[in-house]
Amino acid sequence: MARGAVSIVVERCKACGFCVEFCPTKVLALSDAFNSKGYHPPHAVTPDKCSGCDLCGMYCPDFAIHGYRLDKAAKAAETEASDAR
Amino acid sequence: MSTTTTPDCKVHPGNPVESFLRTDRMPHIWCPGCGIGTTVNCFTRALIDSKQDLNKLAIVSGIGCTGRVAGYVNLDSFHTTHGRAIPFATGLKLASPETTVVVYSGDGDLFAIGGNHLIHAARRNMDIKVICVNNLTYAMTGGQTAPTTPEDVITATAPYGTYDPAFNLPYLVEAAGAVYVARWTTFHVKQLARSMQEMFAKKGFGFIEVVSPCPTLYQRRNKMGDALDTMKFYKEVSKTKHGAPTSEVGLTKSGEIVVGKFVDRERPDFTTHMHEHLQHSLGDKYIPAEGPVCG
Ligand code: SF4
Ligand code: SF4
Ligand code: SF4
């Protein structure tokens, strides 16, 4: 079971590969798809291995990727839902 | 679903850096793999973790690729003229002593065009925090030889290689009087963020050098590969040596990069010193200004 997940803003990515290289569990790879500037943004090839450590987010010079912990995200969503009530 | 991708480049929900950015200016102009954006990530993590009051924080940049940081962060920021980030920051700090003043600029701006300002601010121990992104060249103007360019490097102005000795920034800044001096590379994201926090907490002139790739102008001309190759190179050749004598940490083209915290010492900062001295010489006649002296 994955403990974390990544969210990627494909249009911001410039395909430097930092996130792919420095992800401790090798979750990511640059995809074959292009964004509108012609770069290949990353995608999660082994999403189950993601711990949500956000090292990819720390490295990304283009603020294009962000890793987060699923338990924290679930808690935040719960609080939001109860706030809305 | 465990991965989300969004095509829109304007917002990135959940990313901690997002609230610190002027998102209408994204994507930024920095080249693919330029290290400056990575340092901004570390900077924002350090601001979050040190619980900085963002209403009492100002960023001052000079000119250059790193100088663009002031324009991209959604904080009180000032993009000043070339080399003049430090004098601007000095004025800001004196007029508004409560404000944490961060100078965020490049090696050329801080050590060449603004070199004199920098050494005197360090000498006086002005309470400002300097983050110097060192890409070893004048990047914005096309990759000319800078005072930080190591020997035997090809640049736009040295087609047969540089032969001038380069400045060793931590050594220079320590000698001038800084109370906090550290160096990291853009590979050391966690260490860099922690170091920034430490520097914010310390009163006086703090200085962090961040060795950063400029794949477009520096690495390309020297056949050193792309940004990712440079990051792997940093990983391979960096050695952490806290407290290393700064005289021994000069950078070379392909040799070891010594990283770590080199200096952490106590010395009264400019304002403390000034108050003490004037109190001493004027006695009761001296009435220090309270709060911001302008604005
Ligand atoms: S959050 Fe951590 S584990 Fe997940 S992709 Fe990013 S670096 Fe890899
Ligand atoms: S680090 Fe950022 S810019 Fe580089 S490939 Fe990954 S998402 Fe793209
Ligand atoms: S020229 Fe060099 S320093 Fe400037 S944005 Fe490009 S890679 Fe970065």
Query: How far away is chain B from the Cα of A10, in angstroms, using its nearest Cα?
Result: 5
d(CA B34, CA B212): 7
Q: Could you report the per-residue pLDDT of A33-56, keeping only the tens digit for each?
A: 999 999 999 999 999 999 999 999
Evaluate: CB of A51 within 6 angstroms of ligand 1. Answer: yes
Three-class SS state of A66: strand
CA of residue A61 to ligand 2 center, whole Å: 7
Q: What is the pLDDT of residue B96?
A: 94
Evaluate: CB of B31 within 6 angstroms of ligand 3. Answer: yes
Cβ neighbour number for residue B89 with a 10 Å cutoff:
30
Evaluate: CB of A15 within 6 angstroms of ligand 1. Answer: no
Q: Is B241 exposed, middle or buried (0-12, 13-18, 19+ CB in 10 A)?
A: middle
Give me the residue label for tokens 């829109």. B8
| Fold topology of A4-84 | Alpha-Beta Plaits (3.30.70)
Q: What is the pLDDT of residue B1?
A: 40
Query: Greater confidence, B151 or A73?
Result: B151
Residues of chain B predicted below pLDDT 50: 1-2
Looking at beta carbons, which residues of chain A come within 8 Å of B13?
A: 7
Three-state secondary structure readout of chain B: CCEEEECCCCCCCCCCCHHHECHHHCCCCCCCCCCHHHHHHHHHHHHHHCCCCHHHEEEEECCCCHHHHHHHECCEEEECCCCCHHHHHHHHHHHCCCCEEEEEEEHHHHHHHCHHHHHHHHHHCCCEEEEEEECCCECCCCCECCCCCCCCCCECCECCCCCCCCCCHHHHHHHHCCCEEEEEECCCHHHHHHHHHHHHHCCCCEEEEEECCCHHHHHHHCCCCCHHHHHHHHHHHEEECCCCCHHHCCCCCCCCEEEEEEEECCCCCHHHHHHHHHHHHHHHHCCCCCCCCCC
Q: Could you report the per-residue pLDDT of B7-33, keeping only the tens digit for each?
A: 666 666 689 999 999 999 999 999 999
Q: What is the pLDDT of residue A14?
A: 97
Please indicate whether, in this complex, the C-beta atoms of B33 and A18 are within 8 angstroms of each other: yes
- Average model confidence (pLDDT) across chain A: 93
| Fold topology of B17-285 | Rossmann fold (3.40.50)
H or E element in which residue A76 lies? helix A70-84
0.85 surpassed by complex ipTM? yes
Q: What is the pLDDT of residue B290?
A: 74
Q: What is the pLDDT of residue B288?
A: 85
Evaluate: CB of B215 within 6 angstroms of ligand 3. Answer: yes
List chain A domain ranges. Answer: 4-84
Amino acid at B41: N
Q: Which ligand is nearest to the CA of B38?
A: 2
Cβ of B24 under 8 Å from any chain A Cβ? no
Give me the residue label for tokens 């220090």. B288
For testing contact with chain A, the best of B5, B18, B45, B229 (most A CBs within 10 A): B5
Nearest CA in chain B to A72: B14
Taking alpha carbons only, the member of B62, B93, B90, B66 closest to residue B78 is: B62
Model pTM? 0.95
Looking at beta carbons, which residues of chain A come within 8 Å of B4?
A: 5-8
Looking at beta carbons, which residues of chain B come within 8 Å of A6?
A: 3-4
d(CA B147, CA B97): 32
